[in-house]
Amino acid sequence: MAENNLNLPKTAFSMKANLPSKEPQILESWDKNKLYEKLRKKSAGKKKFVLHDGPPYANGHIHMGTALNKILKDIVTKFHQMSDQDSIYVPGWDCHGLPIEWKIEEEYKKKEKKQR
Amino acid sequence: MRKSIKKKKKNKDEVPTKEFRKECREFAEKWIGIHKKEFKRLGVIGDWENYYSTMSFDAEAQIVRELGKFLLEGSLYRGFKPVLWSTVEKTALADAEVEYKDHKSNTIYSTFQVNKTDKDFLQNTSIVIWTTTPWTIPANKALAYNKDINYSVLELDDKKIVVAEKLINSVIKDCGLSKFKIIKSFKGEVFKNTICSHPFKNLGYNFEVPMLEANFVTLEQGTGIVHCAPSHGPDDFNLCLKNGMKAIETVNNDGKYTKNIAVFEGIHVFKADEVIIKNLQEQKNLLGSGTLVHSYPHSWRSKAPLVHRATPQWFISMESHKLRKKALESIDNTIFYPEKGKERIRAMIESRPDWCISRQRSWGVPLPIFVNKKTNEPLKDPEVVENIAKIYEKEGSDCWFYDDPQRFLGKKYKKEDYIKSTDIVEVWFDSGSTHSFVLEKRKDLKWPASMYLEGSDQHRGWFHSSLLESCGTRGRAPFESILSHGFVVDGKGMKMSKSSGNIISPDEILKKYGADILRLWVASSDYAEDLRIDLSILDQHAESYRKIRNTFRFILGNLRDEYKSKDFKKINYKELPELEQLILHKLYLLNNEIKNNLKKYNFHKLQKHLLNFCSLDLSSFYFDIRKDILYCDDLNSKKRKFCVDLLNIILECLIKWYAPVLSFTTEEINELAQKNKKTSIHEENFPEIPKSWENKKLFEKWEKLLKVRQQVNVAIEEKRSEKIIGSSLEADVEIELPKTEFDLLKGIDAQELFIISNVVQNLSKKNEILVSVKKAKGTKCSRCWKIVQEVKDGKCSRCLKIK
């Protein structure tokens, strides 16, 4: 077909997404370019939208429930940001309480058993 | 465990607490670090560098100030609440320190005479209860029934008793009752307003024992009526508190009845059963007794059986300063997405008891309270509260446990006159106060928040505690709106659990699919209900993603990865072919849909509109028709230029509309298509679609044309499946049309619309559309593959001109 001078589509945007390997690179560029700070600077003075983060408990790897919650928060935050607002998201953690006490006590228990 | 360390270092009581808290703090810090990475990997953009935590020094200081507000206004009071208590170690035990193992308990069936009732058939009857802790009978304050259970009145030789209908047989057997007659059966709801006498009425227990409705009453064991001692069980406690009956101290640290238990004061509860049973018998209120081996809580250290014992705790009153009323009003002024959340939290606030905010643990903000030894009243001095807060701000709250109390009291008071609290603040008060030390304190934020967004369980948790804390201290909710979402369940709607083996971890999805697929799943699911996920559901979303990606790929390919920004307002609309005008109108409609659904946070509907636009309006319609122009027309042809303009416009709209969801993919496209631009797609605003793109008339016309097109497509598809033609370009279509459609199609390039090589249009006499398809006669252009009458060098006249 090439000899026919057809204007066939040509792109570096591959059909296969390779998201698991590509996404971390994009993350790096956001970090490097200080995207969050740029957003704040750019939208200073605009109408504020504040989604206040309910703090997850600082214990154990994230699961589907926490992932769903954080992604939904991010989608809401971004939709407001792109609607010409200053959409601010400050993540937080809940740190006190029993589950952590238990973990530390468990560690003590293990140590004590070893000492016996 | 700390107790054991304490024992080893008797003289340095404070050191283990300090060490223990340090380890807790380090543990939390470690997990914050891990969470941060995991959340960022999902594409979440936020102030990760300046996050907040409830254990930061300024948070701990502000929690003291918040609590101080309740203390100073007088809504914080000391009451009693049952906890699991070891009479051997003389301490409360947390759930984790409790082991369940078999224990032999004494069981009794005891009778409570009905004293007041609305119903004649309950007059002179006795309500029967069954318990495995006879020693709690002196602490009885109420009886609980279930309004949905059926109960019966039985006539015995000497009295009439009431038990659940389904448990008659077991009661009869256990109590050795040979003769009985069922004289009445009724629904539990009838018990309403019934009041009984205590079985020890004649020993001085001369108070009313009301019957209360409770859904924790089941038919599993006993009589279907539960005896409630608010000082000795959490269910009993909550039910009684809800009905205005507070727990009192009935058993002391050692496990002996206090002076609040008449007749039996000083008896150890583990030796009391025998005495109680004897007395019940003497009072003719013992129907039967026995023993039961059952699973029972024991201390994991001493192995001693535990008891529920009411201990002094601190509460925030729901009534004294109208906290309930303020909270209910605030709910009315809050927007809920979905709306059902409003009723959910309202019902909870309406019926909740006073808020118990003290815990007998170590890892938390120490309760900043001094109780006067003489008056037994808490010290209420704003200067002391602020002094404590200032100290915490500088060094955190560890010092409370080991520093000289005089340091916190200041100069005005003598430490000898006060007892320093050793409790900590319950964590829900911590997180309920985040609005004060985050929203209020940070200049970049605002109070109240625009939105709180959590799983629907937080109507009981964080939404609830934040509402109460803020209404108590600031008279209104700390949020303007609440968005709540369902739980993640497996593909069949079952809860995920290790034992079912149906757990999917985010990490697994990130490695197999990537964050954008997970994000697409979130945005496309209806969060108002539980959200289903499994590999086949993810595959479906990966398929949708592929369609979206191919839409972008088609555009990028035809733009050769070079996006040229168009000023939407300057597009010369009138100059465009109708097809392009139609697509602009569709963009206008889509923009409206997006805006409307955004207002209500209906992301799943919005995603559906976007996906349909990509696959139906673009891929299988607009792109399909325009492929010929794009691939085969001269680069300078007007039509092609219009189409390229449109591709630029569509790209800009789609990339922005998709950015909040496909945050990575849109950034990938952004980087590719604008190589010189250094800004992120997330710095952009949504496109503004000019009102001038709206064209209802054109839309209505094309709706009709598209119906014709659909019928033509069906007819072509038939011939294709019969292998009469290959591609649609090999089709020659003859079509009969009613007048309206006939006229409409006249002004349109029908060959282009149907993607065929020849078309004959006739006016139908029958007002219906008839399509016949045959293989086009002529020669195939080697370049554009259309069948034409004449070719030169194998090419049609258009293609011949192209160098």
pLDDT at B328: 98
Is the distance from CB of B349 to CB of B319 less than 8 angstroms?
Answer: no
**In chain A, which residues have their Cβ closer than 8 Å to the Cβ of B672?**
11-13
Residue B403 has pLDDT above 90, yes or no: yes
Residue B202 has pLDDT above 60, yes or no: yes
**CB-based contact B488 A82, cutoff 8 Å:** no
Q: How far apart are CA B111 and CA B125, in angstroms?
A: 9
Residue B393 has pLDDT above 60, yes or no: yes
Nearest chain B residue to A53 by CA distance is B452
Measured distance between the N- and C-terminal CA atoms of chain B, rounded to whole angstroms: 87
Count of residues in chain A: 116
Candidates B62, B99, B27, B300; CA nearest to A97 is B27
Nearest to B664 among A22, A100, A103 (CB): A22
- Per-position DSSP letters for B214-260, written without gaps between them: -TT--SSSTTSEEEE-TTS-HHHHHHHHHTT--B---B-TTSBB-TT
Is the distance from CB of B545 to CB of B615 less than 8 angstroms?
Answer: no
pLDDT at A116: 55
Q: Is B500 helix (H, G, I), strand (E, B) or coil?
A: coil
Q: How far apart are CA B281 and CA B77, in angstroms?
A: 40
Candidates B82, B65, B83; CA nearest to B365 is B65
Candidates A73, A66, A22, A17; CA nearest to A49 is A73
Structure tokens belonging to residue B288: 């039967």
Residue B14 has pLDDT above 70, yes or no: no
| B590: phi then psi, degrees, rounded to nearest 5 | -60, -40
Structure tokens belonging to residue B141: 């304050």
Choosing among A1, A7, A37, A52, which should be mutated to test the B contact, i.e. which has the most B CBs within 10 A?
A52
Q: How many CB atoms lie within 10 A of CB B204?
A: 10
Candidates A91, A87, A93, A92; CA nearest to A50 is A87
Q: How many CB atoms lie within 10 A of CB B487?
A: 15
Q: How far apart are CA B687 and CA B657, in angstroms?
A: 8
Nearest chain A residue to B635 by CA distance is A7
Choosing among A95, A103, A105, A116, which should be mutated to test the B contact, i.e. which has the most B CBs within 10 A?
A95
Q: Is A95 helix (H, G, I), strand (E, B) or coil?
A: coil
Residue ranges of chain A with per-residue pLDDT less than 50:
1-2
Choosing among B8, B22, B31, B433, which should be mutated to test the A contact, i.e. which has the most A CBs within 10 A?
B31
Cα distance from B701 to chain A (closest Cα, Å)?
Answer: 31
Residue B96 has pLDDT above 70, yes or no: no
pLDDT at B432: 97
Q: How many CB atoms lie within 10 A of CB B101?
A: 10
Helical segments of B290-433, H only: 323-332, 340-351, 382-395, 399-402, 405-409, 427-432
Give residue B272's identity as a one-letter amino acid code.
Answer: A
- In the predicted model, what is the mean pLDDT of chain B? 94
Q: How far apart are CA B252 and CA B266, in angstroms?
A: 9
To the nearest 10 degrees (0 to 180), the angle between helices B638-658 and B623-632 is 130
Could you tell me the pLDDT band of residue B788, with boundaries at 50, 70 and 90?
very high
pLDDT in tens, B414-448: 999 999 999 999 999 999 999 999 999 999 999 99
Q: How far from B175 is each of B161, B171, B172, B178, CA to CA, in Å?
A: 12, 6, 5, 9
Structure tokens belonging to residue B96: 């984790």
Cα of B299 vs its chain's centroid, Å: 34
Q: How far apart are CA A87 and CA A102, in angstroms?
A: 38
Q: How many CB atoms lie within 10 A of CB A55?
A: 22
Cα distance from A116 to chain B (closest Cα, Å)?
Answer: 14
Candidates B272, B265, B379, B369; CA nearest to B312 is B369
Query: Taking phi first (over 0 means left), then psi (-120 to 50 degrees means alpha), and beta for anything else, what does residue A11 get?
Result: beta
Residue B459 has pLDDT above 50, yes or no: yes
Structure tokens belonging to residue B316: 């925030």
Candidates A78, A116, A102; CA nearest to B43 is A78
Helix or strand run (H / E) with residue B608: helix B603-612
Structure tokens belonging to residue A62: 């994230």
- Judge if the upstream peptide bond of residue B297 is cis by omega within 30 degrees of 0: no
Candidates B104, B121, B124; CA nearest to B113 is B124
Nearest to B680 among A30, A64, A83 (CB): A30
Structure tokens belonging to residue B478: 């700390």
Nearest to B557 among A11, A24, A80 (CB): A11
Instruction: Tell me the mean pLDDT in the region B25-40.
Output: 97
Cα distance from B478 to chain A (closest Cα, Å)?
Answer: 10
pLDDT in tens, B370-383: 999 999 899 999 99
Q: Is A58 helix (H, G, I), strand (E, B) or coil?
A: coil
pLDDT in tens, B553-582: 999 999 999 999 999 999 999 999 999 999
**CB-based contact A35 B45, cutoff 8 Å:** yes
pLDDT at A3: 52
The DSSP code for B128 is E
Cα distance from A33 to chain B (closest Cα, Å)?
Answer: 9
Q: How many CB atoms lie within 10 A of CB A99?
A: 16
B524 versus B85: the higher-pLDDT residue is: B524
**CB-based contact A78 B446, cutoff 8 Å:** no
pLDDT in tens, B156-197: 988 999 999 999 999 999 999 888 999 999 999 999 999 999
Instruction: Tell me the mean pLDDT in the region B117-129.
Output: 95
CA angle (B101 as vertex; B96, B104 as ends), nearest 5: 135
Per-domain residue ranges for chain A?
A: 46-115
Candidates B346, B365, B484; CA nearest to B431 is B365
pLDDT at B387: 98
Q: How far apart are CA B121 and CA B183, in angstroms?
A: 9
Structure tokens belonging to residue B249: 């101290």
Instruction: Tell me the mean pLDDT in the region B40-46.
Output: 98
Instruction: Tell me the mean pLDDT in the region B260-274.
Output: 96
Q: How far apart are CA B164 and CA B219, in angstroms?
A: 8
**CB-based contact A82 B656, cutoff 8 Å:** yes
Q: How far apart are CA A7 and CA B57, in angstroms?
A: 65
Residue B258 has pLDDT above 70, yes or no: yes
Is the distance from CB of B213 to CB of B147 less than 8 angstroms?
Answer: yes
Structure tokens belonging to residue A9: 């589509």
- Per-position DSSP letters for B634-688, written without gaps between them: -TT-HHHHHHHHHHHHHHHHHHHHHTTTSHHHHHHHHHHH-TT----GGGPPPPP
3-state secondary structure B357-398: CEECCCCCCECCCEEECCCCCECCCHHHHHHHHHHHHHHCCC
Nearest chain A residue to B662 by CA distance is A75
Structure tokens belonging to residue B305: 């059986």
Cα distance from A46 to chain B (closest Cα, Å)?
Answer: 12
Q: How far apart are CA B598 and CA B602, in angstroms?
A: 6
Cα distance from B83 to chain A (closest Cα, Å)?
Answer: 15
Cα of A26 vs its chain's centroid, Å: 12
Nearest chain A residue to B22 by CA distance is A104
**CB-based contact B668 A9, cutoff 8 Å:** no
Residue B6 has pLDDT above 60, yes or no: no
pLDDT at B672: 95
The DSSP code for B601 is T
Cα distance from B119 to chain A (closest Cα, Å)?
Answer: 48
Helix or strand run (H / E) with residue B273: helix B269-282
pLDDT in tens, B732-773: 999 999 999 999 998 899 999 999 999 999 998 888 899 999
**CB-based contact A100 B363, cutoff 8 Å:** yes
pLDDT at B353: 83
pLDDT in tens, B301-360: 788 999 999 988 999 999 999 999 999 999 999 999 999 999 999 999 998 888 989 988
The rounded percent of chain B whose pLDDT value lies above 70 is 98
